[in-house]
Amino acid sequence: MTTVIVLAKECVPGRVKTRLTPPFSPEEAAALASASLADTLEAVGRVAADRHLLWFDGAAPRGTGFEVVQQPSGGLDERIAAAFEWTDDRAVLVGMDTPQLDPAVLQAVLDDDGADAWFGPATDGGWWALGLEPGRRRGDLVRGTPMSTDVTGASQLLRLSAAALRVRRLPTLTDVDHVAEAFAVAEAAPASRFATVLGVLAPLVDAVA
């Protein structure tokens, strides 16, 4: 059995993509986050998995075809750990900040019998994807890892290696936190909703500036 998980939250102005403000307003940043989430759900929905899980914080979008489970309280490491503990399947988890992701990369994780863990590094020092084989305590591989720092990825990879897991690396991607990253991601996925929304908003920001 296989599960693909999208970790996401409701795109409320002032709660999402706050590092895009300024130059974008909170409402514009939320629109970009919403587009990124929609692109991510579309891409992940194309992965042939037994379960598609939306591990969500807030009021989830309707009609996604995903099984929606509300995230528990706690830090990001706790919430990610809980997602892996929720299912006994081989599972791969992604966030909502890489709308340029290739479904084939995730499919390869679910079809790969030659590794115990799969790690997708991000250019900012974090990670964009984590896959784990079933295990009684696999949440402990994540719980306690420092999050949202420039050593998050290295710390997570060290945890996997210290557990003597066979780790397969995935392609490095840029996730959207800052304005420069937003433009880089839009360039990588010019046909995405995210790129379309950014293309509409960016000239308005320039005009105001």
- DSSP 3-state helix, strand, coil percentages of the chain (rounded to 5)? 40, 20, 40
Domains delineated in the chain: 2-208 (3.90.550.10)
Nearest to residue 110, comparing CAs of 85, 80, 89?
A: 89
| Single-letter amino acid code for the residue at 142 | V
pLDDT attached to residue 209? 39
pTM score, two decimals?
0.95
> Average pLDDT per run of 10 along the chain, which is 209 residues long?
97 96 96 98 98 97 95 96 95 97 97 96 97 88 95 97 96 96 96 97 63
Residue that the structure tokens 């995730």 belong to: 106
